[in-house]
């Protein structure tokens, strides 16, 4: 908590009781004032625009009272209190993580050998703690199984209901994954599929996919998931220039397998935030379009990096595999975790249903549960 504060017109320097210090700019403090004229008391939304703050905003007084920081701004003559913990929680005066291609806090990358995280259908429906643990696994690891569910068609929609909403596409609210005659997509055949993310030709891509098993007596057809972030980390370590090429230039993706549909995107295979954090993977040989955004002199190196990333993804040491039983499903973070399946034979049957949903809804449900049941997070 703050112990003392000093200031000049533009910057307030707070010394906390542990002797650490943090500086805050006048404009930042004014923008983040918590008074009811700046933030709506009910929904917490900001009531002022950036233009409502005087360009010559300054601090005329900064004092610590009972651990809270009390600031007076000029020319408004406005006095605002920042609660003791709020400032420490929102300090930005520290070395910002800047490693190129770094993994965000809270994400753990993995490869073969981990136990697939799993929830039980009845438990996640009945127990908020079980549900939160299952959602937290998706947030941290990018995938989780759900076992013990019903074997009725459309049960996958109830999986999405647990945390959010189905994202409907041109494939419908959900799609059937089983062998078809004249398939509109190679997913609807018995062919094995290389590990991929779904629908890279959409912008934005569906950020979650649910695959739900209704029948699986065919030989083969095992599901395999691969952590695309771990694959990207390996590429970054083995070939930093190649990593930078895949992150630095857009690939192209396209799907026009159905009448009236022509989806196209121009996005990188490895996506970084502007400050270098790894935020997404797009990898799908079936829907890659000609790459035309890479400079001529870099194209061969780009392809070499693409091949190298593909080799890492296909390495059996990377994949976690399992065979879904009827009533079992898994959810993947489609911006991170690739999924594959082994080919399967005509004997027996394999019937899965798949749908898309969005990660923001899942993360919102998870965060809201963590606010309302903080002890259960232990």
**Which residues of this protein are in contact with Fe ion, per CB under 5 A?**
198
What is the widest separation between alpha-carbon atoms in the chain? Answer: 80
User: Is the Cβ of residue 198 or residue 227 nearer to Fe ion in the bound state?
Assistant: 198
CB of 219 to Fe ion, least distance (A): 20
User: Is the Cβ of residue 13 or residue 194 nearer to Fe ion in the bound state?
Assistant: 194
Non-local (6+) Cβ contacts of 106 within 8 A are 139, 140
CA–CA separation, 151 and 144 (whole Å): 18
CB of 27 to Fe ion, least distance (A): 47
User: Is the Cβ of residue 198 or residue 333 nearer to Fe ion in the bound state?
Assistant: 198
CB of 104 to Fe ion, least distance (A): 24
User: Is the Cβ of residue 133 or residue 209 nearer to Fe ion in the bound state?
Assistant: 209
Task: Give the residue nearest to Fe ion (CB).
Answer: 198
User: Is the Cβ of residue 209 or residue 239 nearer to Fe ion in the bound state?
Assistant: 209
**171-207 burial: b if 16+ Cβ within 10 Å, else e:** beebbbbbbeeeeeeebbbbeebbbbbbbbbbeebbb
Could you please report the per-residue DSSP string of 66-119? TTEEEEEEETTTEEEEE-HHHHHHT---SPPP--TTBPPTT-----BTBPPPEE
User: DSSP state, 221?
Assistant: -
User: Is the Cβ of residue 33 or residue 318 nearer to Fe ion in the bound state?
Assistant: 318
Cα distances from 21 to residues 18, 24, 96, 191, in angstroms, run 9, 10, 16, 60
- Helices 296-314 + 240-248 axis angle, to 10: 110
Q: What is the dihedral of CA 32, 36, 42, 44, to 10 degrees?
A: -10
User: DSSP state, 218?
Assistant: S
Tokens of 349: 């049957």
CB of 347 to Fe ion, least distance (A): 23
Q: Where are the alpha helices (DSSP H) in the chain?
A: 26-31, 84-89, 121-126, 128-141, 155-161, 228-238, 240-248, 296-314, 359-372
User: Is the Cβ of residue 155 or residue 287 nearer to Fe ion in the bound state?
Assistant: 287
How many Cβ atoms sit within 10 Å of the Cβ of residue 307?
Answer: 11
CB of 171 to Fe ion, least distance (A): 11
CA–CA separation, 280 and 253 (whole Å): 15
CB of 189 to Fe ion, least distance (A): 12
CB of 149 to Fe ion, least distance (A): 20
CB of 340 to Fe ion, least distance (A): 8
User: Residue 122 — φ and ψ, nearest 5°?
Assistant: -65, -40
């Amino acid at each position: 908590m703050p112990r003392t504060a000093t200031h000049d017109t533009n910057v307030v320097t707070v010394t906390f009781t542990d002797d650490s210090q943090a500086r805050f700019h006048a404009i930042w403090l004014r923008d983040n004032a918590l008074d009811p004229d700046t933030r709506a008391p009910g929904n917490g939304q900001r009531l002022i625009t950036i233009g409502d703050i005087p360009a010559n905003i300054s601090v005329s007084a900064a004092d610590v009272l009972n651990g809270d920081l009390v600031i007076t701004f000029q020319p408004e003559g406005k006095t605002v209190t920042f609660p003791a913990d709020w400032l420490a929680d929102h300090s930005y005066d520290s070395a910002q993580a800047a490693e190129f291609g770094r993994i965000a806090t809270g994400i753990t990358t993995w490869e073969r050998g981990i136990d697939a995280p799993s929830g039980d259908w009845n438990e996640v429906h009945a127990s908020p703690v079980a549900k939160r643990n299952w959602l937290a696994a998706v947030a941290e690891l990018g995938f989780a199984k759900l076992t013990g569910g019903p074997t009725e068609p459309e049960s996958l929609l109830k999986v999405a209901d647990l945390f959010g909403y189905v994202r409907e596409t041109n494939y419908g609210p959900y799609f059937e994954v089983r062998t078809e005659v004249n398939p509109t997509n190679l997913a609807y055949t018995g062919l094995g599929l290389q590990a991929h993310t779904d629908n890279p030709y959409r912008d934005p891509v569906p950020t979650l996919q649910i695959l739900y098993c209704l029948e699986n007596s065919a030989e083969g057809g095992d599901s395999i998931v691969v952590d695309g972030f771990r694959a990207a980390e390996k590429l970054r370590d083995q070939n930093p220039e190649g990593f930078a090429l895949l992150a630095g230039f857009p690939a192209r993706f396209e799907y026009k397998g159905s009448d009236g549909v022509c989806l196209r995107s121009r996005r990188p295979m490895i996506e970084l935030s502007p400050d270098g954090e790894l935020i997404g993977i797009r990898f799908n040989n079936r829907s890659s379009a000609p790459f035309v955004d890479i400079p001529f002199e870099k194209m061969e190196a780009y392809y070499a990096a693409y091949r190298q990333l593909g080799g890492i993804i296909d390495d059996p040491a990377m994949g976690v595999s399992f065979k879904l039983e009827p009533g079992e499903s898994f959810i993947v973070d489609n911006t991170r975790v690739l999924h594959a399946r082994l080919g399967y034979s005509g004997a027996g049957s394999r019937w899965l249903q798949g749908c898309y949903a969005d990660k923001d809804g899942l993360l919102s449900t998870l965060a809201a549960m963590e606010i309302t049941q903080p002890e259960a997070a232990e």
